[in-house]
Amino acid sequence: MEMSGRPLYQIWNKEKTRKFRRMLLGWYHRNKRELPWRSNPTPYRVWIAEIMLQQTRVQAALPFYQRFLGRFPNVEALAAASQEEVLAAWAGLGYYARAQNLRRAAEQIVREFGGKLPQSLETLQRLPGIGRYTAGAICSIAFNQPRPVVDGNVRRLIGRLHGTMRRAPEEFLWEQAADLVPARRASDFNQALMELGALVCLPAKPQCSSCPVRNLCVACARGMENRRPAVRSAKASKALELVVLVVEHACRILVTSRKSVGFIPGKWCLPTRALEGDRAPARAAELLARETLGRQVTVRAAGQVRHSITWRRLIAHVFAADPCEMPVLGDVRYRWLKLPEAKRVLTSSLYGKAISESFRRD
């Protein structure tokens, strides 16, 4: 609530909390989506789902989830896979550090816990890629422990319920979420809480007429339901410019494991350099081609592609080169691959975009 322009953050009383639980769980029973990790909520399946959903919408993640589980059905299979195999299965989902952390965590789970995810919240948070929210989600959904979860949907939902259009302190949100979760139905309740935020209490144009708890919502009562609880603004970062070279000869593409831009995921990449200073992209591409092929070749501009990796925004200047003959490169870090194979090993979608741009301009 807010009084006299000053926010007051007050945990609900027991009666209001019980009423909220009853309304929310009844709505969830009638309206929940059928999702694969809900029909079979093993700790491993819940863990994979929660990692995928950290930066990806449910509908976009579903086909990747099914394919990933088909390739790595358990912790042991994931731990035994190479990083290249895991990144290839993750290709297209973005934020590839998630996949790298999954594999590292799987190795630790096999090594220290006999292939079983630990049930302790504190122990889970010591695994790579698992923070406060993900640990709480695994403990509550997979193990039915009364642990709170606070993601973007829950933050928005609690903020509106309390009418705190200013940003509520993070600890208050976690305290309220912890007080709301029941001791016996934690799994259903936390999924219901996130489901309500995802389907009804939307960031813009919330569906208040369909909300089962609208009578408890301060924002709805005050006509503030279309306002979003305030969030801290992040300064927009300047895009990093790259030069990407697509070398094609006789229906084969040159790929390399010699990486100069370390944050782009995958073992194999196209020849790539960060654009430094005020150097013109065309000149940088010529130098990159000569360094890669050991000779002077003609390059042509093929366009630009925009891409994001975690918080980085990239602008890739794509250049194409077709040497008169296929150079024999003695360095094992270079390979000439047919187009389908090249697309398979280039796990970053940045390079798929670059190849498409190059061929589109032919």
User: Quick one: 340 exposed, middle or buried, by C-beta within 10 A (0-12, 13-18, 19+)?
Assistant: exposed
Q: Is 122 left (phi over 0), alpha (psi -120 to 50) or beta?
A: alpha
Length of the chain: 362
The whole-angstrom separation of Cα 241 and Cα 281 is 9
Q: What is the SS3 assignment for 158-218?
A: HHHHHCCCCCCCHHHHHHHHHHHCCCCCHHHHHHHHHHHHHHCCCCCCCCHHHCCCHHHCH
> Which residue, 14, 10, 32, 11, is CA-closest to 212?
32
Q: Catalytic residue at 276?
A: no
Q: Contact 179/15 with Cβ under 8 angstroms?
A: no
The whole-angstrom separation of Cα 101 and Cα 104 is 5
The whole-angstrom separation of Cα 190 and Cα 182 is 9
- Which residue matches tokens 């796990």? 347
The whole-angstrom separation of Cα 188 and Cα 29 is 9
Selecting among 2, 15, 50, 85, the annotated active-site residue is: 50
Positions marked catalytic: 50
